[in-house]
């Protein structure tokens, strides 16, 4: 147990957060998930509006928390969960922009790896390029859950960008050429924090927009409409809890 809790970003006391945490960038999506999937959810955090809840799902304890936008934000929250609250696995449920032409709004991306333009890995002084990847067990179970539910999904690389508004108008087409499936802003830091802490992580994303076509979902759809992805995440936890 860490002596650094509660932290400047999380009001939870030790033991209030489950070993498995589902995380969403939007804290209102986290709240929606907690109300929809958890039995008797209890809010443990509202510092900076980053809501966190713990409850049970089929008798097993689960936590659901927001992580904010971008690598610096998820870097803080997941570092604290892994290292201060002794969380063992984090599954991020987020939105992403499609980079491949055969991907449609609502498709699910299971992030096997995460490319990035961030310098987050520089802190490790590796002397090379680190390849952030998901935990295989969580990835395998995500595929099984998506298959069981009959969902459209792809497994592959995400692009975790530090910039939402990129001055280089051609950058996405270059990532597209490398077979990267979708752009989001957090998976790389999550995977690096998990690797450094010896923990497990996975990112699931629902395609919310298509940058090359201009298609996009509404704010409300992004908060409460991506239930297929949520069902996959909750299904993973249920399977693992029953093993």
Residues labelled as active-site residues: 209
The count of other CB atoms within 10 Å of the CB of residue 199 is 19
Asked if 29 and 66 touch (Cβ cutoff 8 Å), the reply is yes
Bridge partners of 92, per DSSP, are 23, 203
**What whole-number distance in Å separates Cα of residue 161 and Cα of residue 157?**
13
The count of other CB atoms within 10 Å of the CB of residue 172 is 18
Question: Which candidate, 208, 230, 229, places its Cα nearest to that of 220?
Answer: 208
**What whole-number distance in Å separates Cα of residue 107 and Cα of residue 225?**
12
């Amino acid at each position: 147990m860490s002596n650094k809790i509660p932290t400047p970003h999380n009001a939870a006391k030790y033991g209030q957060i489950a070993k498995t945490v589902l995380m969403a960038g939007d804290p209102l999506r986290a709240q929606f998930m907690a109300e929809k999937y958890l039995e008797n959810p209890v809010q443990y955090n509202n510092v900076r509006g980053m809501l966190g809840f713990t409850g049970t799902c089929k008798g097993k304890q689960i936590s659901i928390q927001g992580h904010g936008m971008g690598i610096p934000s998820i870097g803080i929250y997941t570092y604290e969960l892994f290292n201060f609250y002794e969380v063992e696995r984090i599954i991020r449920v987020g939105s992403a922009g499609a980079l491949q032409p055969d991907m449609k709004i609502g498709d699910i991306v299971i992030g096997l790896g995460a490319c990035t333009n961030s310098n987050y890995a520089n802190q490790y002084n590796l002397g090379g390029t680190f390849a952030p990847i998901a935990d295989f067990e969580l990835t395998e179970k995500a595929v099984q859950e998506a298959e069981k539910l009959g969902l459209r999904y792809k497994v592959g690389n995400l692009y975790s960008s530090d910039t939402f508004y990129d001055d280089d108008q051609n950058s996405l087409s270059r990532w597209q050429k490398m077979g990267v499936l979708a752009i989001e802003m957090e998976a790389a830091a999550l995977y690096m924090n998990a690797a450094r802490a010896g923990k497990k992580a996975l990112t699931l994303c629902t395609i919310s927009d298509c940058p090359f076509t201009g298609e996009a979902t509404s704010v409300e759809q992004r908060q409460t409409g991506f239930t297929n992805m949520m069902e996959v995440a909750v299904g993973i936890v249920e399977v693992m809890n029953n093993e």
